[in-house]
A and B are shown apart, each in its own frame.
Chain A
């Protein structure tokens, strides 16, 4: 090979060294693309058709993930202009409006994506429950999901203080006072959370560190575990009918294709991975290649999520109230909508509304897969066999939504009952 030929080939050499596969046109290529790409290898080479039914998952888990990505990116950008100081924080909010390019837009994106993420994670949880997807072998992934839900709420709660406006200050004053009602460790927990007896500079700094470093790191780790377990638990849940009859023995073999081993040896991939979906050859199955079927679906959900947030951030401004005035709480002082159900309960009894009932609710939700052990009714919305469990969950959801609606629209000054009309 001449030098000129080598130089001519250099660009394509570099290209192929980065991207191992050309755009695939064969089944082998499609498999190899998913398998050898770092960003795609999270996915199986083939997925069950049921996984791709839009009305089964509604893409809610993916939407939650993409909102988290939007929040991470917009949050990091906002960090460049934010100072966690009681004397500067509010001014920095005004600066975002006045003197930072795209400042308002970024803040809007961050705020609305945070609201949307709470909603998406909650709806994702409802989907998983109503399709019975938490059942064996996916019990622990439900628990991981619950932890992620609580982390989402806590992330949102810590972010709430950062603008240092009236809403922020009083919502956190009320929120941490609720924490103080927890038995035994309540008072200590409140003091450690605030770094002082009342909400002030120490609390702002602590909430900032939790919001931008500690919680995102834990969320990232938990998301990784959540996704890893989806794979190891056999992909997304699906009804037994979605599985094609297995005519082959349990062990799975993969043909290693020319190039890798000259004489085409075969490896046994023992059944470490649950579910017979890693197949090659003429085994009857009900799966399709991830490339392009799954990836296009994911791309579509991604584009839809980003577009949704961009549109909302364009038309609706994130609220910013008056700067903190520790002498005058706004009347009524309301928490964000997803905590208003709690605030409504708290207005009856601080301990039961803020600690007792939510604690019991979380405990029951965590234990759901270990209480409801019947294997039937997986993979279908509102399965007949699960009418009791689903009815209880719907009751729980409806009661919480009603409490939120009461707290949002029917409570006025001094938390007295008002009519929104």
Chain B
């Protein structure tokens, strides 16, 4: 009698058990994915506290013709030739060191990358030329650089 009852109940039990364990596995796996994704979302900052990308650098007269002035804190070099002015990044495209001015252009102290006057790679491991940034004249006569906006190499602002 008892054994007959067991045989009768077993398939029902088994299917309920497998349905439950299947359901719990899906729930567990699903919540694992959700928590991994939400942790990644959490860890990626929405706001940063770094320096602003747009900043004024002063009047054009402060940069006489032929000047190549490196604004180290801003990681940008202001170049003026005649009436033309441009801003070239001084962050090495190799590994982010600050390149210094050299006789032939720029040189990186970290891994020996070399660039010419226009930021084109002339030696070392740097994979890309130094980017040029958008430079514009503000209504009050100040030059403004936007390091968030890269422009084509050789793009000067006429003043």
Residues of A near any B CB (own CB < 8 A): 170, 173-174, 176-178, 188, 191-192, 195-198, 200-202, 326-333, 343, 346-351, 353-354, 413-416
Contact = CB atoms under 8 A, between A and B. Distances in A.
Most buried by A among B44, B45, B95, B127: B95
A174 B45 contact: no
A414 B72 contact: no
B159 interface: no
Interface of B: 40, 43-45, 48-50, 72-73, 94-98, 107-112, 124-125, 127
A191 B44 contact: yes
A198 B50 contact: yes
Nearest to A415: B112
B99 to A, nearest CB: 9
> Per DSSP, are chain B's interface residues mostly helix, strand or loop, or mixed?
loop
Contacts of B127: 349-351
27 contacts: A170-B97, A173-B96, A174-B96, A177-B96, A178-B95, A192-B43, A192-B44, A197-B48, A200-B49, A200-B50, A202-B45, A202-B50, A328-B72, A328-B98, A329-B109, A330-B109, A331-B110, A333-B109, A347-B125, A349-B127, A350-B125, A351-B127, A414-B109, A415-B110, A415-B111, A415-B112, A416-B112
A202 B98 contact: no
Contact of B95 (A177, A200, A202): A177
A346 B96 contact: no
Contacts of B45: 195-196, 202
Nearest to A331: B109
A333 B44 contact: no
Contacts of B96: 173-174, 176-177, 198
A332 B44 contact: no
Contacts of A177: 94-96
Contacts of B95: 173-174, 177-178, 346, 350, 354
Contact of B97 (A173, A195, A202): A173
A327 B112 contact: no
A43 B72 CA distance: 59
A286 to B, nearest CB: 46
A197 B96 CA distance: 11
Nearest to A335: B110
Pairs of residues from A and B, 10 with the lowest C-beta to C-beta distance, nearest first: A331-B109, A327-B72, A177-B95, A415-B112, A177-B96, A347-B111, A196-B48, A414-B112, A174-B95, A415-B111
A353 B126 CA distance: 12
Given A198-B50, A328-B72, A414-B108, 20 more contacts: A170-B110, A173-B95, A174-B95, A174-B96, A192-B43, A195-B45, A195-B48, A198-B96, A200-B49, A201-B49, A202-B48, A326-B98, A327-B72, A327-B98, A329-B109, A330-B109, A332-B109, A347-B111, A350-B95, A353-B125
A173 B97 CA distance: 7
